[in-house]
Amino acid sequence: MPDETLFERASERHVAGDLPGARQLYAQLLADDAAHGAAMLRLGVIALQEGAAAGAIEWLRRALAIEPGQRRYREALGQAYTMAGRHEEAAAIYRGLLADDPSSADLWCGFASAWQAHGALAQAADAWRAALLRDAHRGDAWNNLGNCLRLLGEPRESEAAYRRALAVQPGDANALTNLGTLMQEEGREDEALACLRDALAAAPGTAVAMINLGVLLTRLGPLDEALSLLERAIVLEPHLAPAAYNYGVALQAQGRLRDAGAQYRRALALDPAHAEAACNLGNVCRDLGEHRAAQEAYETAIHVRPDFVDAYNNAANLMRTLGGLDEAQALLRKALELDPSRSATLNNLGNVLKDGGDLDEGIECFRRAVTSEPGNLIAHSNLLYALSFQVADPHVILDEARRWSAQHEAPLRQERTRAHGEWAEGRRLRIGYVSADFREHCQALFMTPLLAHHDRTRFEIHAYSSVVRPDATTARLAAHVEKWRDVRTLSDAALADRIRADGIDILADLTMHMSDGRPLVFARKPAPVQVAWLAYPGTTGIGAMDWRLTDPWLDPGVHDSHYSEQSWRLPHTFWCYDPLDPDVEVNPLPPLTAGSVTFGSLNNPCKLTDASLAMWAGVFERLPAARLVQRLVRAGIDPARVRFVPFRPREAYLRNYHEIDLALDTLPYNGHATSLDALWMGVPVVTRVGPTVAGPAGLSQLANLGLTDLAAGSDETLMAMAGSLANDLPRLARPRATLRERVAGSPLMDGERFARGMEHAYEGMWRAAAR
């Protein structure tokens, strides 16, 4: 059979898509004519069609060895090198072709693609422009030029190129997608949304278009539409790891953590090097309380991408939660080696250092985080809160609070609610409480008696909870609330809208600048009257916050200039306490059996400032036989005299007081819940009154017990007081037997009286706002 006839038959099979049949005939042809270059070309093309780049290169080189100047062979070899990732060799092929024919737009496009894939972006951009000089109607070339310019960090020129692509080919899905994602990167989300919707309309069955639109809708909403799109993309492309990953992100945003985890695991099964999926899986496991699985996921993310700063941060935050502060610090310092100015890393390191009592370096980290990224709300709030543990001048805190407001609140002023609702005769005032700590947390000690005693005939109580893992305490608190809303997945703007829709009259914040607070909800002023209370000490700095609750001991009336809010003094106490574990009994005074007096402080280590340690060291000097249950090494105390106790569940924690004779308070931030716990357990607390609002907390509690003689105005007075008590065991034993009864009969545990005082305050604030 003549060669040409066999070649025609092979070509027919090839065009018909019968690649095995065509290959067989081309091979037969070469068996008869080993120098048939065209057959070698076709075998190379079949290899390209089958994704076998190495085989294609081999056939095309053989063809070129026979016919060195054949343009078709060279073009095909350029494509084969590109498929094989050998981009520099591909560029060399196209350079040679262009030397022969510089007028070909196709060759310039091939040359540009090779350079762009090789990472030579400037050369690639020049080549795309050269292609477009030869053929300005190449929409694909305009689109690719846009991609190249985007990688070069030239967004304006990139956008112009995408728009030229769309002018040439209106409705081109690729150009619309690229333009939409570019706008999304620049924060032009409304424009991006319109572009990505157009892209999906242009290619309604394309998984990539669904994913891109779904990703944006996950952030902007509606979330249900995002989930629907991403679920469709999964069906269309079940083996596409980005589809599973982004579906997981949307499920996680909806709070469906286990479903999200399943999708992240699916993405990792499809692509074991998908570091983002591993990192997000770690976050899901952490929120589910599956700490070992979370740690393994973060380790996977770091293993597959050793420079993944977010994974180091998340792993460090987990170790912080588990009490591994040294491990957390090591991870964060590694993250800073990779990116020294990353604001999130500096913020996280600040938290770890603060937790360990290294306030000075911790606060410096928070300041660096804010300097690096002024819009980092969390870092700025952490800085403001940390100052409460360090500084003695309340004006320093107020100045920082005002800077916080100028940076974060000012842009939201246009969203404030101005109307003051009518308090019609017979209508109950609607009170809303906002917190992320409606759970087993010290905040529950104070919320329980208030919520249990609110007068439901006069007040309608709402709670807005951002609790990550609700527990039995959450359910107990919810039982005292008429309208309980889980708002963890709502953005600050959406939560503000929810509060407006609920018609809340007075909105009370319980967390503010502390962990998981929602200060930007209050900055939007969703309620006519807003008040700060409970966990966060001092001023919020928020102009939209009308009031702060306090008491006559915390604020005797001379400190109002320290706060951006007006102060409303409750009649007796800022706190009303419920121990929530009455079965732990008071024990006899330990020195009667232990042989020495034990001082104790079960406060957060970040309260153990140099001022506290120096003050306590003075006590030890006077009482060389005394022991202390905490850390005082920095102050020169013999480590053998110090015992550390770990974090324990509440019942075991309360039993720690069985080993403590006298509690030492901290300065400048006094103990709050820990001091009340000590008093409940029969352990007297000696306190040093400080100059900021967190400093007279001990005085306020002791005053409500008639024990102001345990509050000192100077370090010397406290040292003398502690020494006197430690050397007089009968005197020290008396409170042990009577303190619990005294606490139970005081305003500190009178929920009925406290609730009436709070309600009187709310009514007064409402009337003041109406004037």
**Cβ-contact 411, 519 below 8 angstroms:** no
Name the burial class of residue 756, with classes exposed (0-12), middle (13-18) and buried (19+) by CB atoms within 10 angstroms of its CB.
middle
CA 682 to centroid of chain Cα atoms: 40
Query: Does some domain include residue 522?
Result: yes
- Please report how the helices 87-100 and 71-83 are oriented relative to each other, as an axis angle in degrees rounded to 10: 160
Sign of CA dihedral 689, 691, 697, 703: positive
pLDDT, mean of residues 643-668: 89
φ, ψ dihedrals at 760, nearest 5°: -60, -40
What residues are paired with 642 via a beta bridge? Answer: 628
| Non-local CB neighbours of 428 within 8 Å, separated by 6+ positions | 456, 457, 458, 459, 460
Residues 499 and 374 in one domain: no
Percent of the chain at pLDDT > 90 equals 70
pLDDT by residue (tens digit) across 122-176?
A: 999 999 999 999 999 999 999 999 999 999 999 999 999 999 999 999 999 999 9
Query: Does some domain include residue 736?
Result: yes
- What pLDDT score does 590 carry? 80
* Per-chain mean pLDDT for the chain: 91
Query: Does some domain include residue 447?
Result: yes
Residues 539 and 445 in one domain: yes
Report the relative pairing of strands 711-712 and 627-629 from DSSP bridges. unpaired
Residues 543 and 646 in one domain: no
Count up the domains in the chain and report the number. 3
How is residue 459 annotated by DSSP? E
**Cβ-contact 440, 475 below 8 angstroms:** no
Residues 564 and 521 in one domain: yes
Q: Please tell me the least confidently modeled range out of 236-240, 390-394, 471-475.
A: 390-394
Rg (CA), the chain: 35
pLDDT by residue (tens digit) across 212-225?
A: 999 999 999 899 99
Which two tokens mark 721? 């007081």
Residues 505 and 540 in one domain: yes
- What pLDDT score does 729 carry? 87
**Cβ-contact 415, 500 below 8 angstroms:** no
- Please report how the helices 71-83 and 53-66 are oriented relative to each other, as an axis angle in degrees rounded to 10: 160
- What pLDDT score does 423 carry? 58
What is the domain range of residue 396?
A: 346-408
Q: Please tell me the least confidently modeled range out of 195-204, 728-737, 753-762.
A: 728-737
Amino acid at 435: S
φ, ψ dihedrals at 557, nearest 5°: 115, -5
How is residue 70 annotated by DSSP? -
Residues 596 and 695 in one domain: yes
pLDDT, mean of residues 633-648: 67
Which two tokens mark 739? 């303190």
Query: Does some domain include residue 545?
Result: yes
Residues 629 and 558 in one domain: no
More confident residue, 348 or 611: 348
pLDDT by residue (tens digit) across 591-639?
A: 766 667 889 999 988 888 888 888 888 887 887 777 665 545 555 666 6
Alpha helix stretches (DSSP H) within 254-407: 257-270, 275-287, 291-304, 309-321, 325-338, 343-355, 359-372, 377-390, 394-404
pLDDT, mean of residues 106-114: 90
- What pLDDT score does 204 carry? 94
More confident residue, 28 or 551: 551
Alpha-carbon gap, residue 331 to 299, rounded angstroms = 11
Query: Does some domain include residue 46?
Result: no
Query: Does some domain include residue 209?
Result: no
| Non-local CB neighbours of 672 within 8 Å, separated by 6+ positions | 442, 575, 697
Residues 596 and 733 in one domain: yes
Residues 457 and 605 in one domain: no
Alpha-carbon gap, residue 93 to 345, rounded angstroms = 46
pLDDT at 93 over 70: yes
Residues 403 and 437 in one domain: no
Residues 374 and 402 in one domain: yes
CATH number at residue 359: 1.25.40.10
- What pLDDT score does 505 carry? 96
Query: Does some domain include residue 669?
Result: yes
**Cβ-contact 639, 627 below 8 angstroms:** no
SS (H, E, C) 617-635: HHHHHHCCCCEEECCCHHH
- What pLDDT score does 511 carry? 95
CATH number at residue 660: 3.40.50.2000
- What pLDDT score does 485 carry? 97
Alpha-carbon gap, residue 658 to 91, rounded angstroms = 79
Q: Other C-beta atoms within 10 Å of 219: how many?
A: 14
Which two tokens mark 504? 């809340």
- What pLDDT score does 487 carry? 96
Name the burial class of residue 539, with classes exposed (0-12), middle (13-18) and buried (19+) by CB atoms within 10 angstroms of its CB.
buried
Q: Please tell me the least confidently modeled range out of 34-38, 628-632, 646-650.
A: 628-632
More confident residue, 299 or 649: 299
Helix H or strand E segment including 482: none
Residues 616 and 522 in one domain: no
pLDDT at 562 over 50: yes
Report the relative pairing of strands 429-435 and 627-629 from DSSP bridges. unpaired
Query: Does some domain include residue 356?
Result: yes
Alpha helix stretches (DSSP H) within 135-274: 139-151, 155-168, 173-185, 189-202, 207-220, 223-236, 241-253, 257-270
Distance set, CA 514 to CA 379, 487, 695, 721 (Å): 10, 17, 18, 34
pLDDT, mean of residues 238-250: 96
**Cβ-contact 179, 156 below 8 angstroms:** no
What residues are paired with 663 via a beta bridge? Answer: 600, 685
pLDDT by residue (tens digit) across 42-65?
A: 888 888 888 888 888 888 888 888
Alpha-carbon gap, residue 766 to 771, rounded angstroms = 9
Alpha-carbon gap, residue 670 to 570, rounded angstroms = 19
CATH number at residue 514: 3.40.50.11380
φ, ψ dihedrals at 216, nearest 5°: -70, -40
pLDDT by residue (tens digit) across 197-215?
A: 999 999 999 999 999 999 9
Give the end of a domain, one of 408, 441, 460.
408
User: DSSP readout, 535-587?
Assistant: SS-S----TT--EEEE-TTT--SS-GGG-SSEEEE-SS-S-----S-TTSPPP
Alpha-carbon gap, residue 343 to 187, rounded angstroms = 19
Alpha-carbon gap, residue 689 to 144, rounded angstroms = 68
